[in-house]
């Protein structure tokens, strides 16, 4: 087992000082060409690599970014993660990934753990519990220590920081508008419990569209589902009773699940009932019929979040704090067979 070689080893071997070695490796003008060559040759031969820890300790910079997401087995989050990872690597940063499991406690623990020197900044989407309990002390605390962070998708108004968002409201508005243009009258919304910022936005867009185009907002046409245990009779009854002819769902699982359900009972999609989901993931693509979906462009979202964070990390030494920014990533509609698609371009 070869042992890792350090500056000290090179110095001893070449009978020069550690500082000389360090400078030689950086092509410092203080060092003669001879020595530089000798040192670099030796370093290359023995495959010298500087110890990241020592450099980080010295420079107070880790080049690590902490990413905390509620769930990793989730198309949207992994896509964002991919964007973050991609941009970060490009800029020489590693990504430390933590899963909060939708739990406030885990979110807090993870943050505290990483905040003590492991990470230069955070990118995160708040856990369900965090949003529900409105508890953000861990965020304020991290900020007090001068560690920057960027919130994406699941955000809060109570904390001022950089944010990356979807135009949820507008996207839902456009979806409903499309239904109305297709002549639909009984447009249902299937959403989650209302403590999610994204669900709120989408619901608001839904209501706004109905009002704008003069359709009544019927609360009975809004169904709130829990995350788990979808297959109960509640959904069945919902579809049986209200004469629904179009459905907008806040995620693709709800959409595909409901689409399957109504089809089993002989409803023709899209002829008799149209569907639009959010999150253009793998399910939307392989559903039968293919699910028209509001694509959230998670990859870009991740890139933008990483860019904002790294910018802040690298400019935080400057005296004047830049104001916080909120970037909006526009959703676009991906039309498939669950809606009737005219030739008109949106």
Partner DNA sequence: TATTAACACGCAAACGTTTTCGTTGTATTT
Partner DNA sequence: AAATACAACGAAAACGTTTGCGTGTTAATA
> Site residues (CB under 7 A) for DNA?
4, 6-8, 15-20, 22-23, 25-26, 29-35, 48-51, 53-55, 57-60
Q: How far is the CB of 9 from DNA (least distance, A)?
A: 8
7's contact among DNA, a copy of itself, none, with CB below 5 to 8 A by partner kind, is DNA
Which residues are CB-neighbours of 271 under 8 A, at least 6 positions away?
Answer: 340
Contact 245, 180 (CB under 8 A): no
Q: Is the dihedral of CA 280, 284, 290, 292 positive or negative?
A: negative
Q: Which of 253, 305, 309, 313 binds a copy of itself (CB under 8 A)?
A: 253
Structure-block tokens of residue 327? 């970037």
DSSP letter string over 253-289? HHHHHHHHHHHHTT--TTTT-EEEEES--HHHHHSSS
Signed CA dihedral, 135, 141, 143, 149: sign only: negative
- 326 interface partner picked from DNA, a copy of itself, none, CB below 5 to 8 A per type: none
Establish if 273 lies at the interface with a copy of itself (CB under 8 A).
no
CA distance 172 to 292: 13
Q: Which of 17, 28, 32, 117 binds a copy of itself (CB under 8 A)?
A: 117
In terms of CB distance, is 45 or 343 closer to DNA?
A: 45
159 binds, among a copy of itself, DNA, none (CB under 5 to 8 A by kind): none
Q: Which does 31 bind (CB under 5 to 8 A by kind): a copy of itself, DNA, none?
A: DNA
| The one segment of 31-39, 127-135, 209-217, 281-289 that binds a copy of itself by CB under 8 A | 281-289
Asked if 99 touches a copy of itself (CB under 8 A), the answer is yes
**In the complex with DNA, which residue's Cβ is closer, 33 or 345?**
33
CA separation for the pair 60, 54 (Å, rounded): 10
Distances (CA, A) of 185 to 193, 245, 344: 25, 7, 20
- Nearest approach in angstroms of CB 4 to DNA is 6
The alpha carbon dihedral of 227, 229, 231, 233 has a sign of: negative
- Asked if residue 72 binds a copy of itself (CB under 8 A), the reply is yes
Tell me which residue of 102, 62, 93, 97 sits closest to 81, measured CA to CA: 97
Minimum CB distance to DNA, residue 51 (Å): 3
Burial of 30 (0-12, 13-18, 19+ CB in 10 A): exposed
Q: Rounded to the nearest whole angstrom, what is the least distance from the CB of residue 27 to DNA in the complex?
A: 12
Q: Which residue ranges make up the site for a copy of itself (CB under 8 A)?
A: 1-4, 49-54, 56-57, 62, 64, 72-75, 78-79, 81-82, 85-86, 89, 94-99, 106, 110, 112-118, 144-146, 253, 256-257, 260, 263, 282-283, 286-288
């Amino acid at each position: 087992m070869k042992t890792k070689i350090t500056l000290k080893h090179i110095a001893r071997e070449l009978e020069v000082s550690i500082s000389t070695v360090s400078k030689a490796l950086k092509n410092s003008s203080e060092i003669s060409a001879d020595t530089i060559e000798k040192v670099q040759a030796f370093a290359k031969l023995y495959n010298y690599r500087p110890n990241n820890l020592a450099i980080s300790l010295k420079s107070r910079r880790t080049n690590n970014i902490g990413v905390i997401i509620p769930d990793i087995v989730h198309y949207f989050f992994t896509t964002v993660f991919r964007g973050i990872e991609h941009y970060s690597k490009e800029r020489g940063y590693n990504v430390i990934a933590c899963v909060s499991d939708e739990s406030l406690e885990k979110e807090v623990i993870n943050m505290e753990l990483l905040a003590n020197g492991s990470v230069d900044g955070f990118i995160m989407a708040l856990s369900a519990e965090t949003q529900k309990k409105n508890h953000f002390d861990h965020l304020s605390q991290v900020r007090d220590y001068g560690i920057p962070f960027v919130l994406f998708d699941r955000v809060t108004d109570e904390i001022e920081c950089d944010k990356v968002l979807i135009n949820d409201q507008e996207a839902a508005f456009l979806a409903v508008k499309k239904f109305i243009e297709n002549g639909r009258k009984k447009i249902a919304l299937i959403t989650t419990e209302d403590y999610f910022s994204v669900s709120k936005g989408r619901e608001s867009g839904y209501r706004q569209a109905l009002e704008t185009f003069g359709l009544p907002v019927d609360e009975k046409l809004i169904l709130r589902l829990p995350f788990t245990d979808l297959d109960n009779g509640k959904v069945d009854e919902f579809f049986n009773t209200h004469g629904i002819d179009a459905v907008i769902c806040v995620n693709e699982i709800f959409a595909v699940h409901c689409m399957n359900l109504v089809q089993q009972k002989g409803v023709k999609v899209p002829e008799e009932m149209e569907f639009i989901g959010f999150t253009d993931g793998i399910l939307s693509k392989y559903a039968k019929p293919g699910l028209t979906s509001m694509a959230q462009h998670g990859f870009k979202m991740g890139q933008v979040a990483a860019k904002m964070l790294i910018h802040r990390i690298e400019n935080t030494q400057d005296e004047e704090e830049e104001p916080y920014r909120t970037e909006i990533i526009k959703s676009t509609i991906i039309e498939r067979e669950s809606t009737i698609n005219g030739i008109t371009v949106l």
